[in-house]
Structure 1
């Protein structure tokens, strides 16, 4: 085992212990010399381990006293998911307008995008022959589909190039799938809470939704299977990996079970898998589609969250619906931007995408921890943060705080967040907010997070004063 693997493996043990609360804030970690002797590693490996933990925000170095944990498990303990009986309902139409910037939009900081290599691939493509500007294959350029197929294979996920259809982003792929397998007033099962963009699509398409409660393993499969067995739902729309807004994932067992349920009840599952490659732990998880034996899973994804949203390219593996899906694409759009597809084929096939993802995920893991450290230090004690293992968003529970008022006051300061109510038709998430941590930490971001925390604390105090006044408690 190489030195790098050793220090990361060792760091993983400390992360588990720190998250479990086995170290107090004022309790020093073993010294470098003690760490070297305890785990029989070199001093270089011991130092690399601590530096890595420091970069992720788990520990801090005191020059005179050593290394100390700075992660507070009280704040980052697992959030309890609301449990309720699923009930179909109609979404508001048109959907409400929402902020699409700052902490309110799940997107990467522009400085993290691999613009140099992307430009180089674009330049190479534009120097190719003049046929570049002719019509291309409506289902997607073969070099791009082949490059995607080879890339996915390195993750243990086998999808042949001819199974893929190129789309204008992931939401476009999802919308096309919904048009194909559902009709107006059909009921579509979704996890609760659910990404606003998916709810908005269902709203404008006139579909009803059936919110299935989430849990630590993923979603309530008992309720979902009950509805599928009764054929009360026409389709399921699910994100299995690093869901937006909660950041949590379905277990491997649940993914396999869902693929089997889709086949058993002959009900399609549309899988929005746009965050899967943003995995902070180094091992990219598998999608539900991996377990699909009979083609009932329609798998959708894109580069919008991982690489460049402005390129507007995504893809779909429609399974048993491939022919009808392809026909719909041919009729509606005649395909996607050909030069961009070929440029991305060049970018992926040269290995730039795989190298970029590895670097990006290390950065995002560090940013995620930095955000959590700042928020847990600044926010009131009762606040809890769901710690994701991937993706771009944090899901925060703010008890006793009017999050709509918080959102309104922050908007006046040009600080944008999304309230939990935006992600559901129920009333279970009014004490939650979702934040994008894709923006790099700098002075302005710290100022905005500080203002968020100050506003939240002020609203909490106001509610406490009103509550005490109502009960007749004497204020000191």
Structure 2
């Protein structure tokens, strides 16, 4: 969206989707709009016409332009069960690995792995940043890189986060080959094989796969569409013997919730009270639907019990393997061990990302991406609701990110659905791998990071018809 009228239309669309402009509200006239933004009357008209084409405003002859809220159909949110919490091993590592490998097959329709469409990646800006970074690089940039990460990138991240109210020292940042490698280093440093880590479920299957591969046990606590059970979290911190929690509080995958600032502050206090470390995976925070990025738990951590982790793989590109973890003074004595476990990251990629941030191109990309994701996720939701209209479907309503969690009738087994989808060259992720005891076996997770193309629409139709056939035949899968 390089044109002025498109940028202005995006700003108005944000206000409509966030409820700052309400249905039926009259917009200022084209002439007043052009004066307010110091643009031509033609540019103002192009802005309003774009919003009208998007179905966000309408015109009354001789009266003016008015806000029109999209008429979306709603369904019930998924139901989430209560269950007992106990230390246990992740039992389905082989299946986790199989599903992860399937997500990398580009011949499949991408409804499984949570990743952005290549069309949403700012390729030209990335190319320019990498070229500039190479042009201004120094001879030492072509030697073995600093295992903590290049100073230019750490300084860029400090500056970038500070704009959103998050203040972390460059000396506390360690650059990694993505978010999961960051989590791996932290988990191996803070815990030993056989020890337990508290996780809310349903939980990102990649984290569970990582914990299984590292031979760590999990203590599950219930998660639901508004967050997870903080009373249970406190209980398990106190009695389970777990030394750490692995949690996402900003647009958790797969449910898409975002905890309140009060809840995040409470978690930081609990971590101190029970001396239980919080490994915070904040990979989706920059994929918010509003203009303000939510703060992580780390913001309220005054005692060094929160290890902040993330990457740009969800906000920029899954192929751009640059992530980080951030420690505190409390963990400085573990720095040598962390450095030893960390793998050096490609220096040109680090410098390219630093340039992308310093040039403001990354910030501009995020501003465009957020509105696009909000619109795209709702398009998926509405299409899924329409396609599954005669099926007892429950569907989450993410507050950010782009993962969709579908709960189907109990007779539907997600693993059977997964194998059927694979035969149709469709990639989905079955709910069975988001926790233990087959708690989520009638659920699936879908990716809404790609445009809702005709191909993807047809894939959703195929999945709905399979469910419909199973129910009509009365099969107990």
Is TM-score (shorter-chain normalized) higher than 0.5? yes
Give secondary structure in 2 for the equivalent of 1:91. coil
- 1:109 maps to what in 2? 117
Residues 1:413 and 2:419 aligned together = no
Following superposition, the deviation at residue 429 of structure 1 comes to 1.0
How far, CA to CA, are the matches of 2:224 and 2:52 in structure 1?
Answer: 29
How many residue pairs get matched? 440
Query: Which runs of no fewer than 5 residues in structure 2 stay unpaired?
Result: 1-7, 34-43, 62-66, 105-109
Q: Report the equivalent of 1:12.
A: 18
**What residue is the counterpart of 1:360 in the other structure?**
369
Query: 2:407 & 2:359 partners in 1: Cα distance?
Result: 43
- Given the superposition, is the C-alpha separation of residues 453 and 197 from structure 1 closer, same or farther in structure 2, using an over 3 Å criterion? same
Partner residue, 1:473: none
Query: Per the alignment, do residues 176 and 462 of structure 1 end up closer, same or farther by CA in structure 2, a change over 3 Å counting?
Result: same
Question: Which residue number in structure 2 is paired with residue 71 of structure 1?
Answer: 72
Using the alignment, how far apart are the partners of 2:374 and 2:238 within structure 1? 40
Pairing of 1:60-139 with structure 2 (within 5 A): 69-73=70-74, 75=75, 77-92=76-91, 94-96=93-95, 97-98=98-99, 99-101=102-104, 102-127=110-135, 128-139=137-148
Indicate conservation of the 8 Å contact 2:255/2:403, yes or no: yes
With over 3 angstroms needed to count, the CA separation of the structure-2 counterparts of 1:402 and 1:148, relative to structure 1, is same
Q: Name which of 425, 431, 446 aligns with 2:442.
A: 431
Give the alignment partner of residue 402 of structure 2, picking from 392, 405, 420: 392
Q: Which residue of 2 aligns with 1:196?
A: 205
Change (3 A) 1:93 1:323: farther
Relative distance call for 1:179 and 1:59 in structure 2 (3 A) is farther
2:175 corresponding residue in structure 1: 166
Q: CA deviation at 1:3?
A: 9.2
Q: 8 Å contact 2:185–2:341 — kept in the other structure?
A: no
- CA distance in 2 between partners of 1:228 and 1:235 (Å): 8
Q: Does 2:306 align with 1:306?
A: no
Contact 1:136 1:338 in 2 (8 A): yes
CA RMSD of aligned residues (A): 2.9
Provide, for residues 149-179 of structure 1, a one-character-per-residue CA deviation record: whole Å limited to 9, x for no partner: 1100111111121121111111111011111
Distance in structure 1 (CA, Å) of the matches to 2:327 and 2:364:
28
- The question of whether the paired residues in 1 share the 8 Å contact of 2:16 and 2:69 is answered with no
**SS at structure 1 position matched to 2:426:** coil
For 2:152, what is the secondary structure of its paired residue? helix
Q: 1:206: how far off? A: 1.2
Query: Quick check: 2:284–2:315 contact (8 Å CA) kept in 1?
Result: yes
Q: How many angstroms does 1:215 deviate by?
A: 3.3
Displacement of 1:52 after TM fit? 5.0
CA distance in structure 1 between the partners assigned to 2:17 and 2:206 by the alignment: 37
After superposition, the Cα gap between the structure-2 partners of 1:7 and 1:195, relative to the gap in structure 1 and judged at 3 Å, is closer
| 2:220 match: secondary structure | strand
Aligned counterparts, 1:65-464, within 5 A: 69-73=70-74, 75=75, 77-92=76-91, 94-96=93-95, 97-98=98-99, 99-101=102-104, 102-127=110-135, 128-320=137-329, 322-333=331-342, 335-379=344-388, 380-400=390-410, 401-463=412-474
Tell me if structure 2 keeps the 8 A contact 1:60–1:70.
Answer: no
Distance 1:58 1:421 in 2: 39
Q: Residue 58 of structure 1 contacts residue 69 of structure 1 at CA under 8 Å; is this kept in 2?
A: yes
CA distance in 2, matches of 1:4, 1:411: 37
Task: Confirm or deny: 8 A CA contact 2:111 2:426 kept in the other structure.
Answer: yes
**Structure 1 pair 126/79, CA: closer, same or farther in 2 (3 Å)?**
same
Question: Distance in 2 between the 1:60 and 1:416 partners?
Answer: 39
CA distance in structure 1 between the partners assigned to 2:279 and 2:189 by the alignment: 11
TM-score (norm 1): 0.85
Distance 2:237 2:71 in 1: 46
**Unaligned 5+ runs, structure 1:** 18-28, 468-476
In structure 2, C-alpha distance between the alignment counterparts of 1:54 and 1:186, rounded to whole Å: 56
* Contact 2:80–2:222 (Cα < 8 Å) also in 1: yes
Q: 1:291 offset after TM fit, Å?
A: 0.8
Cα deviation for residue 456 of structure 1 reads 1.9
